[in-house]
A and B are shown apart, each in its own frame.
Chain A
Amino acid sequence: MQGILFPRGVVEEREGLQEYRARGGYTALEKALKGLAPETVIQEITESGLQGRGGAGFPAGKKWAFTRECAEQPHYVVLNGGEDEPGSKKDRLLMENLPHLVMEGVILASYAVGASTAYLYVNSQYNKAKDSMAQALAEAQEAGLVGKKILGSDFNLDILFVAAPPNYVAGEDSAALEVIEQKQPLPRQKPPFPATAGLFGKPTAVNNVETLANVPAIIASGAKWYRSFGTPESPGTMIFSLNDEVNRPGIYELPFGSTLRFLIEERGGGVKGGKSIKAIMPGGPSSAFLPPDKIDIPLDHNSVRAAGSSIGCGVVHIVTEGSCIVEEILRIADFFAAESCGQCPACRMETNTLAVMLKKVQQGQGGQPLLEQFSKVISFNKGKGFCNLINMPGPPIESALRLFRPDFEFHLANGRCPQS
């Protein structure tokens, strides 16, 4: 199956400028600078239906149009390579091995929104990715692809690096802006959104690495070609991450609409040890659990939502039979309690309280009424934070309670896992 980002399968080694150009690299940039107005580039991206790959799935063309249309100057582009989602390594791999693909996406985004400065916000623990991108930047500057009068046009672009702190909220778009402004990684209250009032208060397009990596192919081959992949509502491909629960862990680019079964069985080689599946989290720790009978759902935004979960940034976690869902959920609740930045009172209260409540369930302290309190704490706090973290523990906890209530009841009665 042909991919868009990995036309010949996942790239295992770094691709340099010459190799990238040999397979058509930077022709999209040339096409744009020599013949497409920035508005036309945005229109093409809008028509392609490209959605953000950082988790929220916001239409990329719409975001760019918001920034482009702002009279306030200057405009900025930020490549969000914070990648703090547990189990996600896709952005790291793209920056390490396909740095020019990512760079071309950044340059095209900057041209489209009218930015003359772009920031590469790269996870501070990703040394290899940072080095690879730095080398790509030097090569691009040398080749006249970044800097003054790019490819003989009037378009100028400076690209700067900023290290992203390796904590969860630092990957949130407005927290990234705070870090670039040399402040603490704390999300901002929204609105205003970064697209209209972002870096230094100016219009800023903040895009995930995978999102921008899709841009060159769309500009080179057109929205219609891009839409030949995926589904009408979720066009293109997406990179999915499988971890140690399967025989072949790794990242896999699949067209939207491929089934969860195809990803797990055909690509991942099935569950390790032939164990049967108890539950699947299709979109990272903030997605709701799906029961195993949903394994044939297509992986696209609408289908996963209709099944009761979300696709997030494509980290698929499998819980096998014999695992205790209470332990799973407690780990997730502890994660969000630890990663809440603490600036919003409701988030602080919610994440800490849920973690304490789950600890009580795990240890068999409390009765049935305790289980009824989870949804009350979650709904009381819904939407009361600056960022979305406050809404993240809800789907996994509520779906676990709905699907696996006997695990919770066993813990309450016995203070241990049913399997131990």
Chain B
Amino acid sequence: MKRLCLVCQNVDCKSRGSEQLMKELAKLVAERALTDVEVRPYICFGACQDGPNIVLYPEKSWYAGVKTEDLKDIADRLAGGPDVKRLDKIDSSLKELIYQLLDTGVF
């Protein structure tokens, strides 16, 4: 299975530009020839007030409040670079719920 870069596309994240973020991230992933990574939309992570939200799976890295200027660091992380810790802002109980859902194939 490919590694997933899940970009929330529900109303709130979308209104904060997540559609454009998803396109640009897909471009950066392609530029780095990360053929084992798939950038795809996600229904909702339930952290709308902190959006746009991006989750890497199976890495289980959650990036909140992502801006265009953060995308390069996220793409680098997918290419083996360091975690983007400044975007790790989400409550652990929500993370646990979403990661469990991803573990059971809900994506």
Contacts and interface: CB of A to CB of B under 8 A. Distances in A.
Interface stretch (B27-35, B55-63, B73-81, B99-107): B99-107
Contacts of B44: 345, 348-349, 352-353
Interface string A367-393: 101101100110011000000000000
B49 interface: yes
Interface string B89-107: 0000110010011011110
B11 A366 contact: no
B105 A360 contact: yes
Contact of B43 (A346, A356, A365): A356
A342 interface: yes
A346 B97 CA distance: 12
A120 interface: no
Contacts of A356: 43, 106
B48 A373 contact: no
B104 A369 contact: yes
A173 to B, nearest CB: 24
Contact of A366 (B47, B93, B106): B106
Contact of A380 (B11, B12, B43, B97): B97
A373 B10 contact: no
Residue among B45, B103, B104 having the largest count of chain A Cβ atoms under 10 Å: B104
Interface size class of B (residues with CB under 8 A): 10 to 19
A345 B106 contact: no
Give the dominant DSSP class at A's interface. helix
Contacts of A377: 97, 101
Interface in A335-369: 342, 345-346, 348-350, 352-353, 356-357, 360, 365-367, 369
A360 B103 CA distance: 13
A349 B11 CA distance: 10
A352 B46 CA distance: 10
A370 B12 contact: no
A372 B12 CA distance: 28
B31 to A, nearest CB: 31
B64 to A, nearest CB: 12
A359 to B, nearest CB: 10
Contacts of A381: 46
A373 B47 contact: no
B104 A370 contact: yes
Contacts of A373: 100-101, 104, 106
Contacts of B46: 345-346, 348-350, 353, 380-381
A380 B94 CA distance: 8
B10 A352 contact: yes
Nearest to B47: A345
Contact of A370 (B11, B43, B105): B105
19 contacts: A345-B12, A345-B44, A348-B11, A348-B48, A349-B48, A352-B44, A353-B43, A353-B44, A353-B46, A353-B101, A357-B106, A360-B105, A367-B104, A369-B103, A369-B104, A373-B101, A373-B104, A373-B106, A376-B100
